[in-house]
Structures are given as C-alpha cells and as structure tokens.
Amino acid sequence: MADSRDEPLVLGIETSCDETGVGVVRGTTLLADAVASSVDEHARFGGVVPEVASRAHLEAMVPTIDRALKEAGVSARDLDGIAVTAGPGLAGALLVGVSAAKAYAYALGKPLYGVNHLASHICVDQLEHGALPEPTMALLVSGGHSSLLLSTDITADVRPLGSTIDDAAGEAFDKIARVLDLGFPGGPVIDRYAREGDPAAIAFPRGLTGPRDPVYDFSFSGLKTAVARWIEAKRAAGEEVPVRDVAASFQEAVVDVLTRKAVRACRDEGVDHLMIGGGVAANSRLRALAQERCEAAGIRLRVPRPKLCTDNGAMVAALGAEMVARGRAASDWDLSADSSLPVTDPHVPGTAAAHDHVHEVSKENLYS
C-alpha cells in the first residue's frame, strides 16, 4: 500500500447517468465526494438525454477529479487503485468514465477496477455504517432499477431475488411528477409535496401484492396509469387536482409495496439486516416506513444519508476499496463499458497479465 495505514486509498468515477461523480475513499472512510450534475440541462426534456449527458461528463471529468483529490487532501500518486462504473447505465455516458479511469490508471501505474453500479449503491453504506453484515438484504430503488438483492460478499456474490417487471420506482416518481407538472427529477419534489398531503386520501393500487403474484417482483406501471387516470378525470370534470394528496397517496402506494416485500424477503431468507440504496432511498417516507416496519420485525435497517443514495463517485470508490482489500483481480486495460452488466457481476475481473502490466507502467511513472 502507498500509505502506512493498511486501508486501501481508492478513487472512484461514476458516469452511468447524468451525474459526473468522483469520490475518494480510504477503506470504509469517505475522504471526498465531488459531483457535477447535468440534471438542469435535461429538465426541459423531462428525462435524461444520453448525448447531452455524455458531453457534460466529458467537460466535467478532469475538473471533478481534481476537485475530489484536493478535497481529500491526497495526491493521485498515493492511490492504491482507480475504480470506475463499468455498467449498467447509458453506454455513451459509461464510456466517458471508463476511458478517463483507464487513462489515469495507466498514466499513474495503478490497478483499474471496473465495478457494477448496483453493487456500488449497496457498498456505499460502508462509508456510513461500517462494514456490511454478511449476508445483507438490499432493496435497490433508483431511476433505472428496483430490485431485491441478497449479498453474502459484495465483491463476489450478489443474488437477485426479484425486480420490477415494468417501470423502476424512480421512473414512476418522475412520470407522476410530469403528469402533475412538477418538473424533473420527480422524486424530490413529490417527496416535498407529499409531506403536506394525506397518504390515505386516495386508495391507489398496490402492484403485484395478490396471493398468486410473484412475491419479490415489483410493478409500478398499473399504479402510474391509475394515478394518471385519476388526475385526468378530475381535470375533465373541471375540478382542481389536490396535488399534495395525490403526491402523498401515490408515494404511499410505492413505499408500502417496497417495504412490505423487503421485510418479507428478510424474513423468508432469515436475514436480519436490510440495506436500502439508490436514488429513491433518499425518499423521506420510504425511510420512515422502512424504519417502522423493520423495527416491528426485528430487522436492523441501514440507509445511507440521502447524498450517498443518489448517484455519486464515493460509492464506486467504496466498492473499489473493498475489491482491493479482498484482493480481487483488477480489470484488464481493454475493459469496456457494458450498459447491461448483470447485477450478479460485482466487478469485471481481468487476467493476471493485467497486474504485470501495471507494475511495468508503475516503474516508468508516466504521471508527472
């Protein structure tokens, strides 16, 4: 290790969607979390435009890396590795991060770790609450994913129990916010309006909760349609839409199902720790209801602070540091972005040859 302390110092780069995130982590300690978001550039389109995101990553990359290193108070030469999101995500956006990570790793003579975005969303909790218990049940809810995952080792073993069969939870928040003319992204604004609304005002459907439905899968498209129809009917009748009540009732329908299924999965699998990660884990009602239901079921709940739930580089650095600590194989120099990297692959390991190459480059010390 470059440092006398034996915990690996790792820089992580995240560019899977619209946030250029660069984090620096030592073991499970967060040293820096720099994020440049292009969210404002997408707002007028009501969703992320991949080409716009890729260009914004390109512009933000070097300044964000510099900012993160400065914030951490470390030199790039002291790093023990560079981690990057290899997938899943937007192909062009991922490619910017992977190319940057390769360039820095090669120039510095450091090992490169291509890691999984979803596993990073889980591993980030180590920065908040220390080492992840093994096994851990994870409810991962973001703009692109909603899954229940069981992990016995976040660097090597992540097993999917269920996932959404249509929309992701965050996608449903974004779509309902659009129908209510509340802007993009929808999660935070619905969360705010819902605080002043009545969650029991309107009985919206709870997807896939019937006796014959798959136990761990989710569905939000029926709910989305039901909410949109309800709003349309109000508007057609010339009545005012009670935005706060709609937001609260819709949100309740989402978080009721998410927490119910997550607690059920913990019980069925005999797991007494539940971790909730991904952008939707920033939701205040999801956090409160999960806490309530976990307490009642004797399950310990772990949810990182909201800033670590949405996409960021620290989560990638956290998983990278865990890869180094557990001696996992670094990625090869021909690592490519994989927009549909399966959740069962926490990282993209290379062959032993990659390590030899790192040592050779290291001797030359190309980075001045």
Provide the binding-site residues for ligand KG4, judged by CB under 6 A. 17, 142-144, 170, 173-174, 185-188, 191, 278-280, 282-283, 310-311
Return the structure tokens found at 111.
């090992």
Please, what is the minimum distance in Å from the beta carbon of residue 121 to Zn ion? 6
Edge to edge, the sheet with strand 300-302 lists 157-163, 146-153, 136-141, 273-277, 300-302
Please, what is the minimum distance in Å from the beta carbon of residue 364 to ligand KG4? 37
Cβ closer to ligand KG4: 246 or 361?
Answer: 246
Q: CA 136 → CA 145, 270, 273, 275, 310, distances in Å? A: 18, 10, 5, 7, 20
Q: How far is residue 32 CA from its own chain's centroid?
A: 17
> Is the Cβ–Cβ distance between 189 and 283 less than 8 Å?
no
Helices (H) and strands (E) in the chain, counts: 13, 10
Q: Which does 188 bind (CB under 5 to 8 A by kind): Zn ion, ligand KG4, none?
A: ligand KG4
Please, what is the minimum distance in Å from the beta carbon of residue 213 to ligand KG4? 24
The one-letter code for the residue type at 132 is L
Q: Maximum Cα–Cα distance for the chain, whole Å?
A: 75
Cβ closer to ligand KG4: 94 or 112?
Answer: 94
**How far is it, in rounded angstroms, from Cα 163 to Cα 36?**
29
Q: Which does 191 bind (CB under 5 to 8 A by kind): ligand KG4, Zn ion, none?
A: ligand KG4
**How far is it, in rounded angstroms, from Cα 319 to Cα 230?**
43
Please, what is the minimum distance in Å from the beta carbon of residue 79 to Zn ion? 24
Q: Which does 332 bind (CB under 5 to 8 A by kind): ligand KG4, Zn ion, none?
A: none
The binder of Zn ion chosen from 19, 311, 332, 345 (CB under 5 A): 311
Q: Which does 207 bind (CB under 5 to 8 A by kind): ligand KG4, Zn ion, none?
A: none
| Residue list 130-189, contact with Zn ion (CB under 5 A) | 142
Please, what is the minimum distance in Å from the beta carbon of residue 233 to ligand KG4? 25
| Residues found near Zn ion in the complex (CB under 5 A) | 142, 311
